[in-house]
Amino acid sequence: MNRLSELFEHHHEALYRYLVRLSGDADVAADAAQEAFVRLLERPSMGTVERAWLFRVGTNYVFELRRTSARRTRLLWGRGERTMADAPRDPHAHVEADERKRVVIAALSRLSDKERIAILMREEGFSHREIAEAVGTTTGSVGTLLARTLERLARETTVDREAL
Amino acid sequence: MTTPAPDPLANAHVSVGVILALTDSKAGERSAELDAAQDHVDHCDVCWARRVDVESHSDRVRDALSAIPIPSVSENTFRRHLAAGARRTTPLRRRPAWQAAAAVVILSAAAAASPARHWIQSRIEQSRSETSHSPIRVLTPSPQTTNQSATSISFAPAGAVFIVRFDSVPSAGVLYAEGTTQSEITARVVAGGGAESDALVVLPGELRVRNTALSTANYSVWLPPVVKRLRVIIAGRKSFDGPPPAVVHLRPSR
């Protein structure tokens, strides 16, 4: 197995999922993942830290796009969109799923960048120490940040869901 | 009068941040402080209740995040994406014909995968009377602009969003998108210099333009009322996203 296959197998699924959730845009996420992998392939192997490195580069790419393009800003978090990978569903399930997705994306978009990165990295299994390094805070305070954000996100997605 | 001594347990409760750290860490990997906090939580009803709350929030957020669909990306797809990205940074040159042919073969292989397979099968059912029985319809434009009927392709829309995706940023060219009262989408390429090897490939909800950095062709698409939004992606970057009609310059001015 060559290095690209190995990296893809170990990291791509989680990185891409994280970037889709972070950006709200599958195309942006694909570009960001590609950028991260290309940069990683240009470097010598970094061992255990390469996962966190990939996520950091992908995250920076997403935010760089947002900073450098006003139009892109409008696209990010604009709305949920159906992708080719979505299987056809019955109309009621489709409407409900789309609405649910819209609610979740809206709730995520109301978080600060730091909160969103932290919560999504936690979802991918990063330790509090790794998350703290990524968002520039201490390990001691990242737990509070995460707990507060989880509580808020749980409340906002649940309330909106019940209002459907 | 003496001040009551502070309750030693009042400040001893474990913060939600530490409770989450306990939830997120494994027993054997904890610091001595976390082990002490775990011991407290195990014997404190207040902290235990907070731990239950924290875990409930975590579960609900995990459930909520699963509502965002994640398109599946195979390694082959990813490698093609990487290759396309690499082409953007290599010197301009005409793509050899074998590469274009290989791309069609790859797309045909991709068509064997669900959900594209179902969509394509339904298209095949509808178009049995048509001349082409290819699961993916590929159109190579004629270099003669006068014979425009030979460079048009029509197909049924797959939803409210229609994507036109160009492989490369061309040297020049414009995409014109207009509305039509017809029920099918029609796409036409007006060939320019260097466009001889370009091809239009119909995918579910998407028209893929296999162009090169040397392409100078113009393209027209007519969109039925069911298509509410057009998205144009050039070399992986979204260039337009809005309702038709639209005029999209394929090589943005710098």
Q: Which residues pair with B161 in a beta bridge?
A: B229
> Which residue pairs, CB below 8 angstroms and at least 24 apart, start in A3-6?
A3/A41, A3/A45, A4/A37, A4/A41, A4/B79, A4/B82, A5/B75
Contact A88 B118 (CB under 8 A): yes
- As a whole number of angstroms, the distance between CA B172 and CA B174 comes to 7
Nearest CA in chain B to A144: B17
- Mean pLDDT over A63-81 rounds to 55
Q: Which residues of B touch A37 (CB under 8 A)?
A: 78, 82
Find the range with the poorest average confidence among A49-53, A101-105, B141-145: B141-145
| DSSP reduced 3-state for B180 | coil
Q: Is the pLDDT of residue B5 over 90?
A: no
By 3-state DSSP, what share of chain B in percent is helix, strand and coil, each rounded to 5?
A: 35, 20, 45
- As a whole number of angstroms, the distance between CA A98 and CA A88 comes to 12
Write the pLDDT tens digit of every residue in B53-109: 999 999 999 999 999 999 888 888 888 777 665 444 333 233 334 443 443 434 444
Nearest by CB to B71, from A83, A103, A143: name it: A83
Write the pLDDT tens digit of every residue in A97-150: 888 888 999 999 999 999 999 999 999 999 999 999 999 999 989 999 999 999
Give the residue with greater pLDDT, B168 vs A164: B168
Nearest CA in chain A to B70: A17
The candidate with the shortest Cα–Cα distance to B195, out of B252, B250, B131, is: B250
Write the pLDDT tens digit of every residue in A31-49: 899 889 888 887 777 777 8
Q: Which residues pair with B200 in a beta bridge?
A: B139, B209
Q: Is the pLDDT of residue B182 over 60?
A: yes
* Contact in structure between B246 and B240 (CB atoms under 8 Å): yes
Q: Which residues of A touch B61 (CB under 8 A)?
A: 119, 123, 150, 153-154, 157
The tokens describing B236, both together, are: 């992986």
* Contact in structure between B194 and B174 (CB atoms under 8 Å): no
Q: Is the pLDDT of residue B20 over 80?
A: yes
